[in-house]
């Protein structure tokens, strides 16, 4: 009996340890995801110029824009279809998790298993500000066309949600973010958003702020955690203005990156330094 009790106790300890280890592993993974250094410089500006190829290696579209959620996740990619040098181009929105996007050795690649003729049949955006993305019926058509059922094994898939939940209340276009000026709460000009950097999960992690210089000469680059930016959105034009709770003097003391390749971001521990400076201990 005593031996049997000891065996049960040992099994219980092992089981509890496994559960505890699993919990800590999950928590640790969350923290590593929050604080991990960037492994590559994934520029949104470069992604917006990427051709979309099918399995036959034919160019069927190009990535024209991204639709972001306030937490930095990408909800949709806007594809430019047809046209010559932008003239006659039509635009559709594909759920981000249905577009196969990869970034290796500094280069973007985008693939879609679809023929050009089939893509031409996709529901096209008619409004220049993409207001269709707030229409549940239009979004349902898009998701049905691209076979998006909400679940995906893709590493960059967004959370599985229903069709109506996939609408966006405010159309946050990446191209508009890149045009935004950064200001303090007192409307003090702090610089311009030069680029966005995506993390391993293809989520906006940092905004690169161009500060100082003349015509790009002598300009400094300041990485700011996405979570520390607040965007004022104008629905009628989808224009965005960025605000951060810092003064000009405070921003000038922030960690800097050297050169417009932003390779400084890859230095071990540098992103942690940035998070700490901006008071973002969780990296969120």
What average pLDDT score do residues 201-217 get? 80
Residue 149 confidence (pLDDT) above 80: no
Q: Which long-range contacts (CB under 8 A, 24 or more apart) does 254-260 make?
A: 254/222, 254/223, 254/224, 254/278, 255/222, 255/223, 256/220, 256/221, 256/222, 257/208, 257/221, 257/222, 257/223, 258/221, 259/221, 260/194, 260/221
What are the pLDDT digits (tens) for 90-127? 999 999 999 999 998 889 999 999 999 999 999 999 99
pLDDT confidence band for 31 (50 / 70 / 90):
very low
43-169, what's its fold? SH3 type barrels. (2.30.30)
**pLDDT score of 216:** 55
What are the pLDDT digits (tens) for 158-167? 333 444 557 7
What are the pLDDT digits (tens) for 272-282? 999 999 986 65
Comparison of pLDDT for 8 and 81, the residue scoring more:
81
Residue 136 confidence (pLDDT) above 90: yes
**pLDDT score of 144:** 95
What average pLDDT score do residues 4-16 get? 38
Same fold, 43-169 and 178-277: yes
Please name which of 93, 199, 191, 99 lies closest in space to residue 142, comparing C-alpha atoms. 93
Residue pair 174/65 in contact by the 8 Å Cβ criterion: yes
9-13, 21-25, 251-255: least confidently modelled range? 21-25
Under CATH, to which class is 178-277 assigned? mainly beta
10 Å CB burial of residue 201 (0-12, 13-18, 19+) is: middle
pLDDT confidence band for 155 (50 / 70 / 90):
very low
What average pLDDT score do residues 246-258 get? 92
Domain borders along the chain are: 43-169, 178-277
**pLDDT score of 236:** 67
Residue pair 8/71 in contact by the 8 Å Cβ criterion: no
Largest CA distance in the chain: 84
Residue pair 44/174 in contact by the 8 Å Cβ criterion: yes
**pLDDT score of 217:** 58
**pLDDT score of 238:** 66
pLDDT confidence band for 38 (50 / 70 / 90):
confident
**pLDDT score of 97:** 94
Looking at every residue in the chain, the average pLDDT score rounds to 80
173 vs 170: CA distance, rounded Å: 9
């Amino acid at each position: 009996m005593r031996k049997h009790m000891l065996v049960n106790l040992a099994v219980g300890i092992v089981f509890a340890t496994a559960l505890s280890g699993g919990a800590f592993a999950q928590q640790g993974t969350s923290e590593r995801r929050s604080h991990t250094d960037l492994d590559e410089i994934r520029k949104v500006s470069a992604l917006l110029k990427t051709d979309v190829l099918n399995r036959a290696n034919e160019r069927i579209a190009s990535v024209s824009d991204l639709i972001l959620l306030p937490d930095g996740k990408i909800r949709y990619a806007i594809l430019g279809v047809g046209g010559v040098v932008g003239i006659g181009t039509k635009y559709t929105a594909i759920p981000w998790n249905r577009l196969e996007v990869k970034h290796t050795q500094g280069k973007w690649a985008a693939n879609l298993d679809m023929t050009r003729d089939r893509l031409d049949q996709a529901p096209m955006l008619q409004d220049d500000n993409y207001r269709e993305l707030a229409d549940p019926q239009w979004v349902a058509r898009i998701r049905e066309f691209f076979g998006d059922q909400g679940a995906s094994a893709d590493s960059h898939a967004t959370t599985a949600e229903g069709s109506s939940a996939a609408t966006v209340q405010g159309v946050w276009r990446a191209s508009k973010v890149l045009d935004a000026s950064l200001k303090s709460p007192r409307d003090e000009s702090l610089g311009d958003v030069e680029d966005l950097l995506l993390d391993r999960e293809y989520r906006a992690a940092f905004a690169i702020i161009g500060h100082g210089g003349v015509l790009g000469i002598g300009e400094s680059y300041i990485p700011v955690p996405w979570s520390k930016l607040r965007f004022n959105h104008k629905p009628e034009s989808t224009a965005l203005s960025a605000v951060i709770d810092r003064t000009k003097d405070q921003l000038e003391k922030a960690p800097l990156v050297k050169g417009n390749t932003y390779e400084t971001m890859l230095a071990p521990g540098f992103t942690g330094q940035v998070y700490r400076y901006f008071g973002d201990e969780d990296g969120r």
